[in-house]
Amino acid sequence: MSDRTLREIAAMTGGVLLAPGGDEAGGSLQAHDGVTRVTDVVTDSRQAEEGSLFVAIVGERTDGHRHVPQAAAAGARAALVSNVEAVRAAMAEAGRDPESLPLVIVPDTVAALGGLARSHLAQLREQASSRGETLSVIAMTGSVGKTTTKDLTRQILAAQAPTVAPVASFNNEIGLPLTVLRADHTTRYLVLEMGASGSGHIAYLTSIAPLDAAAVLMIGHAHMGGFGSVDGVARAKSEIVTGLLPTGVAVLNLDDPRSAAMRELAPGRVLTFSASGDPRADLRASAVELDEQAHAVLDLHLPGARPERLRLGLPGRHNVTNALAAAGLALAAGLDPSQVLQALAGAGLESPHRMDVRECGGVLVIDDSYNANIDSMTAALEALPALAGQRRRVVIISEMLELGSASHADHTRTGELAAAAGAQVLVTIGQGAAPAAQAARAAGVHTIELPDAQAAIELLDGGHSPLRPADAVLIKGSHGSGAWRVADHLTATDKED
């Protein structure tokens, strides 16, 4: 982030600056308080350091105003808050002077964070233009594959110029502004991931960061509880296309009818891609094979270039779609095909819990546990036979959340897919995953039903663990139901080595 004074931050957020010893109207503001500079923005007090601005957010589990003292102790120079009295009470309880830290007071800290990021990006773009340069803002959305596509896009673009991209899946109204605020005057490409759990969410994100290029991967069944139908998901995801600048480029999946239909909403140029090799697509894959490590090997067709044989650096046939989307975004950002090919060939996994395949204590652990819906569950289970080879196969799934009325059917389908993938054992976590166990049991799979992730960890550590030496185990599930905890437990020894 470019250094910002507290006066600038107050102006950019529409807030009131309260200096030490002042009152809520601004009172005894002293000159040096207005020019105090902050060097980064955090919403987690544990990440605060010398020069930070701490944004106090009221969440479901904690109120950030209570953590202002910890941020101050770590070196934060100010806090963005909506409740002054809560801050003062917390500071006093922590044994600190309640009025010792400058505060920027706003009605809503999440909205103010978005406003700060919006102004920051607009200024960076203006400064780049004045130097005869550009700052390209690129984003992707979809029901599956966003983070992998983000990682691949980042690597392709970073091979050419300074690039900023989200950590893990910072793709909502808090994570996206924090990513935007990491950009500075050196940034040439800003890569953003945009998620949604309801209508209007992506429109809000694109209001913060209007886009030069946007990709829609696949419209599926993620967060069905918030959309009501797959068509509702499509309408919400299409907001990324309408959020393009007039000169922006839409990158659309020709294999997905709902994504392809968004061509009508694009303000300008459209690039299409097809993992199935549709000859109508601008980018496509053909002659796709999986090697002995389940990595896709394919002929990559890019516009204006001869097809090139390419091996992807991450496992699973489904990642062909993500690689094509990343290539399309890079072309839309101005790279030429040779640059895209060279960088894509060397790109691999970056974010945790996404098709991370490793040997741990003699067991092949396939960790795809960050999140799950029926589409990503299908992709993971379809990849399992190639990844496992001749190994005995164990599948551990935690409940898929936010599926609404589709929950029973989608979990039932998961059990059927596990059986089709050759699972000898299926372990389910959470009551909502019971239909998966029932369907797998009906297909002859040995099933174990557990109430939570901790019970699964205890089972794996006990004398009746379903895992045997040389097994392959796939771990998949929604983040909130804890599959990642099981994966972390299984890979802990490997991380310590």
148 annotated binding-site participant: yes
Which residue among 107, 141, 176 closes a domain? 107
137 and 235 share one domain: yes
Residue 483 lies in a domain: yes
144 annotated binding-site participant: yes
328 annotated binding-site participant: no
User: How far from each other are the two terminal CA atoms of the chain, in whole angstroms?
Assistant: 35
What is the distance between the alpha carbons of residues 497 and 117, in angstroms, rounded to a whole number? 40
Whether 34 shows a pLDDT value over 70: the answer reads no
DSSP letter for 399, please.
P
143 and 254 share one domain: yes
Residue 468 lies in a domain: yes
115 and 205 share one domain: yes
Q: How many domains does the chain have?
A: 3
The DSSP secondary structure of 305-350, one letter per residue, reads S--EEEEEEEE-TTHHHHHHHHHHHHHHTT--HHHHHHHHHT----
What are the respective helix, strand and coil percentages of the chain, to the nearest 5?
40, 20, 35
Structural domain harbouring 200: 111-346
Residue 351 lies in a domain: no
The domain that holds 478 is classified in CATH as 3.90.190.20
146 annotated binding-site participant: yes
- pLDDT computed for residue 196 by the predictor: 87
pTM: 0.87
15 annotated binding-site participant: no
The whole-number average pLDDT for the span 365-377 is: 91
156 and 225 share one domain: yes
Which residue among 107, 136, 165 closes a domain? 107
332 and 462 share one domain: no
Residue 270 lies in a domain: yes
CB–CB of 323/456 below 8 Å? no
Residue 434, token pair as written in the block: 């019971």
- pLDDT computed for residue 439 by the predictor: 98
Contacts of 272 (CB under 8 A, 6+ apart): 251, 252, 253, 254, 260, 263, 280, 281, 282, 283
The domain that holds 58 is classified in CATH as 3.40.1390.10
132 and 213 share one domain: yes
Residue 442 lies in a domain: yes
136 annotated binding-site participant: no
121 and 207 share one domain: yes
CB–CB of 222/251 below 8 Å? no
211 and 313 share one domain: yes
Q: Which residues on neighbouring strands pair with residue 52, listed in sequence order?
A: 40
- pLDDT computed for residue 26 by the predictor: 42
42 annotated binding-site participant: no
The domain that holds 174 is classified in CATH as 3.40.1190.10
- pLDDT computed for residue 224 by the predictor: 53
pLDDT tens for each residue of 37-91: 999 999 999 999 999 999 999 988 899 999 999 999 999 999 999 999 999 999 9
Whether 496 shows a pLDDT value over 60: the answer reads no
The mean predicted confidence, pLDDT, of the chain is 93
Question: What is the helix (H) or strand (E) element at residue 127, kind and residue range?
Answer: helix 109-130
**For the chain, how big is the Rg over CA atoms in Å?**
24
The whole-number average pLDDT for the span 337-363 is: 91
Residue 389 lies in a domain: yes
pLDDT tens for each residue of 229-264: 889 889 999 999 999 999 999 999 999 999 999 999
370 and 430 share one domain: yes
pLDDT tens for each residue of 441-483: 999 999 999 999 999 999 999 989 999 999 999 999 999 999 9
367 and 414 share one domain: yes
Side-by-side strand order, sheet with 356-360: 356-360, 363-367, 472-476, 393-398, 425-429, 446-450
Residue 91 lies in a domain: yes
Residue 133 lies in a domain: yes
CB–CB of 115/55 below 8 Å? no
117 and 214 share one domain: yes
Which residue among 346, 368, 387 closes a domain? 346
159 and 90 share one domain: no
